Structures are given as C-alpha cells and as structure tokens.
Structure 1
Amino acid sequence: MYKDEMIQLHQFLVYVLKYLAENDQIKNDCSEYISLNISPHHIHKTKAEHKHAIFVLCKIIAQLIADKDSNSIPTNVCNSLADLVTRSEKELKA
C-alpha cells in the first residue's frame, strides 16, 4: 500500500472512531492513539508511523464495538489486533 493510501485509510478510521465514541469517553478510549501524536494531516510522518497509527485505531474501534455489542466481534480478533499493534511498535523502534 502506498503512503497516500495509508493516510486516506488513517483519516477514514479517525472518522469511524469519532462516529462510534461517546463525546466525553473518546479521550479515555483514545489515549493510546493520542499519545502517538500523529494524525492523518501529518503527511511528513513516515509510512511506518501511519501504519502503526492505523493498527492502534483498528484495535480501539474493535474494542469500542465489542463493548457496545459483545456478540459482534470475537475476542480473538481483538487479541490479534493488539498483537499487530505490539509488532508494529517494535518495528518502529528498530
């Protein structure tokens, strides 16, 4: 995937997150994403940084959906997304 496509996906996931999250709860749910200090508008960030942000957003969105409806997302999907976040974080540090 090209960097500009990653940025577009990143922006889409931010919109999905804002749609799903409650007004006051969004900062608590998104603390991991907010701590990355990267948004889709940061086009100077690397492709790997956007990829990591996408994985973090996917994990948060899956957790929000699972919290709202426990039958909608299997726990192994949430666990797999958490593993992807961990692996991409290690790649960034390397």
Structure 2
Amino acid sequence: MYKDEMIQLHQFLVYVLKYLAEDDQITNDCSEYITLKISPHHIHKTKAEHKHAIFVLCKIISQVIADKENNSIPENVRNSLSDLVRRSEEEMGSS
C-alpha cells in the first residue's frame, strides 16, 4: 500500500471512531492513539508511523464496538489486533 493510501485509510478510521464513540468515551478509549501524536494530517510522518496508527485505531474501534454490542467481536480478533499493534511498535523501534 502506498503512503497516500495509508493516510486515507488513517483518516477514514478516525471518522469511524468519532462516529462510534461518545465524546467522553473518546478521551478514555483513545489515550493510546493520542500519545502517538500522529494524525492523518501529519503527512511528513513515515509510512510505518501511519501504519502503526492504523493498527492502534483498529484495535480501539474493535474495543468500542465490543463494548457497545456486548462483545459482538470475538476476543481472538481483538487479541490479534493487539498483537499487530505490538509487532508494529517493535518494527518501528528496530528501524
């Protein structure tokens, strides 16, 4: 995937999260994403940083959906997303 496509996906996931989460919940659920200090508008950030942000957003979105829909997302899917976040952190650290 090209960097500009990653940025578009990043932006889309931000919109999805804003749609799903209530205002007070966003701050609590998104602390991991907020600490990244990267948004889709940061085009100077690397492709790897945007990829990591995408994984973090996917993990958060799955948690928000699971909380709202009484665990409608299987735990193994949420665990897999957490593993992707961890591995992307490792990749960024080794670069």
Q: TM-score range by the shorter chain?
A: over 0.9
Mapped partners of 2:63, 2:71: distance in 1? 12
1:20-59 to 2 correspondences below 5 Å? 20-59=20-59
Off by >6 Å, runs of 4+ in structure 1: none
2:76 maps to what in 1? 76
2:62 maps to what in 1? 62
Mapped partners of 1:70, 1:46: distance in 2? 36
Percent of residue pairs bearing the same amino acid type: 83
Partner AA of 1:5 in structure 2: E
Structure 2: give runs of 5+ residues left out of the alignment. none
1:12 maps to what in 2? 12
Which is further off, 52-61 or 22-31?
Answer: 22-31
Secondary structure of 1:24's partner? helix
* TM-score when normalising by structure 2: 0.97
Give deviations 1:16-64, integer Å, cap 9, x for gaps. Answer: 0000111111111000000000000000000000000000000000000
Partner AA of 2:85 in structure 1: V
8 A Cα contact 2:56 2:85, kept in partner: yes
* TM-score when normalising by structure 1: 0.98
Task: Supply the RMSD in Å over aligned alpha carbons.
Answer: 0.7
Aligned residues: 94
Mapped partners of 1:27, 1:42: distance in 2? 20
Mapped partners of 2:69, 2:92: distance in 1? 33
Mapped partners of 2:74, 2:40: distance in 1? 28
